[in-house]
Structure 1
């Protein structure tokens, strides 16, 4: 099948480097490029909802257990954080302070800081380096639906961080094993709270959008 170059407006809007994965996947067929790019946007948007539930519920489950364990809301002040994690807390405090000064006339709260800590920060608390300081004494209790070694949680959570970052930075995900990512996401939700699985599925459009995946005619 003959290929045609993408229209000028598309190359100007997206850049050649951003278009390349779609050009390669479609043999540079203009209609197919546009169709695949649009579907990539749609499936990325569909994943936003379940990822929202996963990130926020992980953050709150870990934060609640750490508050209980250390007996204070600002547990990061006394917890054995790694140096890079402590830097992330300092950055979150600065961001929270800027937002509060800009939008509100009140002191910065611990909840403000927690809201600024990234998905990656929380997942790092499940890493091997944090095993003795976090997982063993306290964080295993944040996953009542899971009974197993820490590493079997950390690895899929890390994959979700990388996947989430691709979506939030508008990167291609059409070539990823999306059904597998979807199943992993729900397994992790179930480790935190089985009721989250039911709630997340209520508004989950991912299966519907996956069923509409464009059929590509690849170079043979």
Structure 2
């Protein structure tokens, strides 16, 4: 019953309505998976490609001026990559990249990133974007928090879901129109939003 508590609160204690909302929360989270996948992988690949070109090596993290927290995340990714390969072959740079989290990539666009990352190279990872790093980092960080709720099976029914959906596509468009088209081919969010159970909420 503790799992249902947020849903009971949202439905004024009506158990039947809470169960319906809980089921719908699972469905809408699942519907977001495709677009969020495209955003996470698209961001990762675009940033990695620019940093690889800038530093002239696939394992650019050995040359880049990463903060201690980011360097620890790289070390964690290297350990995970080694465990996953279990000595069957050497760990490649692409293996490490695949283990780095969405949070790691978003952090490369944070307030400390201007001089070492954004100005020299990472602005090129968003060819259709003409704004500031700050105005790009904020929606990316918002989507990181939302993505974590989705992937950790947390309630998202009380989030501005139509806004999160639109933000996903705006960010994808900054990176590559092809990602927009791919995400739309996987997207069930509008359909699921349209049949939310119970009284409507602001989206």
TM-score band, normalised by the shorter chain? over 0.9
Cα offsets for 1:27-64 (capped at 9, x unmatched): 12121011000000000000000000000010000000
Distance 1:217 1:105 in 2: 53
Distance 1:19 1:204 in 2: 27
Partner SS, residue 128 of structure 1:
coil
Gaps of 5+ in 1: 1-10
Query: For the Cα contact (< 8 Å) 1:88–1:121, is it kept in 2?
Result: yes
Matches within 5 A, 1:169-208: 169-208=152-191
What number of residue pairs does the alignment pair up? 201
Partner SS, residue 129 of structure 1:
coil
Partner SS, residue 112 of structure 2:
helix
Distance 2:181 2:90 in 1: 37
Instruction: After the TM superposition, list the runs of 4 or more consecutive aligned residues in structure 1 that deviate by more than 3 angstroms.
Output: none
Segment drifting more, 167-176 vs 191-200: 191-200
Q: Do structure 1's residue 23 and structure 2's residue 22 form an aligned pair?
A: no
Counterpart of 1:157 in structure 2 is: 140
Query: For the Cα contact (< 8 Å) 2:31–2:189, is it kept in 1?
Result: yes
Aligned-pair CA distance for 1:108: 0.5
Counterpart of 1:64 in structure 2 is: 49
Which residue of 19, 24, 30 maps to 1:45? Answer: 30
Q: TM-score, normalised by structure 2?
A: 0.96
Partner SS, residue 157 of structure 2:
coil
Counterpart of 1:77 in structure 2 is: 62
Q: TM-score, normalised by structure 1?
A: 0.89
CA RMSD of aligned residues (A): 1.3
Distance 2:200 2:82 in 1: 52
Aligned-pair CA distance for 1:20: 1.5
Larger radius of gyration: 1
Partner SS, residue 29 of structure 2:
helix
Query: For the Cα contact (< 8 Å) 1:32–1:216, is it kept in 2?
Result: no
Query: For the Cα contact (< 8 Å) 1:46–1:209, is it kept in 2?
Result: yes
Counterpart of 2:112 in structure 1 is: 129
Partner SS, residue 74 of structure 2:
helix
Aligned-pair CA distance for 1:216: 3.3
Distance 1:194 1:152 in 2: 20
Counterpart of 2:128 in structure 1 is: 145
Counterpart of 1:86 in structure 2 is: 71
Gaps of 5+ in 2: none
